[in-house]
Amino acid sequence: METISGLGKIDRQRLSETIRGTKGIISVSEAAEILGVSASDAAKMLARWASKGWLSRVKRGIYVPIPLESRTPDMPLEDAWLIAERLFSPCYIGGWSAAEYWDLTEQIFRTIVVITTQKPRDRKPTFKGTSFLIRTIPEKAMFGLKPVWRKEAKVLVSDPARTIVDMLSNPQLGGGIRSVVDIFKNYLKSENNNANLLIEYASRLGNGAVFKRLGFLLERFGPDEAPAIEACKSNFTKGNSKLDPKLNGEKLITRWKLWVPKNWKEEH
């Protein structure tokens, strides 16, 4: 295990200047600009500081400062959202991670859901022991987002309605349809409940299956939202969809063109 060792006066000054000039995440390019050195020299400095235990390497060219109270650089990420924003921007925190943020679930998810316009090869990377689930969307789908401050950096998170619509578009972002339904029911009971906004976001997303799932669930758990239910009926696409693409659909709910598992009994 690496231990933290001392730095000379010049290195201490340069390290302090670099940390002050960044927002919790240090890249080679930022260090080079702050210190007025070449990228090659900055990379060598960061690597040296990491070897001495003052920085922790997240991935190639990306480092985080080690807290002064830490006795070892072998530490988990202090704020995974900052790492996500730095590595996958433009992006936002979504799915179950956003549901946790908005208090729509009591489940604890260890993996951070990141929705990005990037197309990374690794869709399930792990950095410093923290796992991420990466999903790609087109730039036009970057809507329904709220900025939140993490230390001195701004990170985007899907607002409650966008969080629901994303999970109805891809139930795996909520941990599967069973978990999504629990989150959806909590949303309906929350102060953030806005059926009109759900319809607006579903329309902008342009996924007909969302209207089928949304209408079906509203009919079961939010029957008072009659205008929204009618809007769902007017907007879903032709053809049949599954309530959850990962589950078998043995029963067809014809009015919603939705295949559901046999244990999902239609309410009349």
Task: Provide the percentage of residues in the chain whose pLDDT is more than 70.
Answer: 92
Contacts 24+ apart (CB under 8 A), 139-144: 139/90, 141/204, 141/205, 142/90, 142/92, 142/117, 143/201, 143/204, 144/201, 144/204
pLDDT digits (tens, 9 = 90+) for 195-233: 999 999 999 998 899 999 999 999 999 999 999 999 999
pLDDT value of position 129: 81
Mean pLDDT value across residues 226-244: 91
pLDDT value of position 250: 85
pLDDT value of position 209: 93
Domain borders along the chain are: 9-65, 80-260
Identify which has the larger pLDDT, 265 or 185: 185
Q: Which amino acid is residue 171, in one-letter code?
A: P
Q: Does the pLDDT value for residue 69 go beyond 60?
A: no
From the candidate CATH numbers 1.25.40.10, 1.10.10.10, 2.60.40.420, 3.30.420.40, the one assigned to the domain spanning 9-65: 1.10.10.10
Residue 65 phi/psi, 5° resolution? Answer: -70, 150
pLDDT value of position 86: 85
pLDDT value of position 74: 54
pLDDT digits (tens, 9 = 90+) for 116-145: 999 999 999 988 888 999 999 999 999 999
* pLDDT classification of 76: cutoffs 50, 70, 90: low
Task: Provide the percentage of residues in the chain whose pLDDT is more than 90.
Answer: 55
Q: What's CA 183's distance to the chain center, in Å?
A: 16
**Residue in the block written with tokens 């969809």:** 241
pLDDT value of position 189: 96
pLDDT value of position 265: 57
Secondary structure (3-state) at 104: coil
pLDDT digits (tens, 9 = 90+) for 147-204: 998 877 789 999 999 999 999 999 999 999 999 999 999 999 999 999 999 999 999 9
pLDDT value of position 68: 58
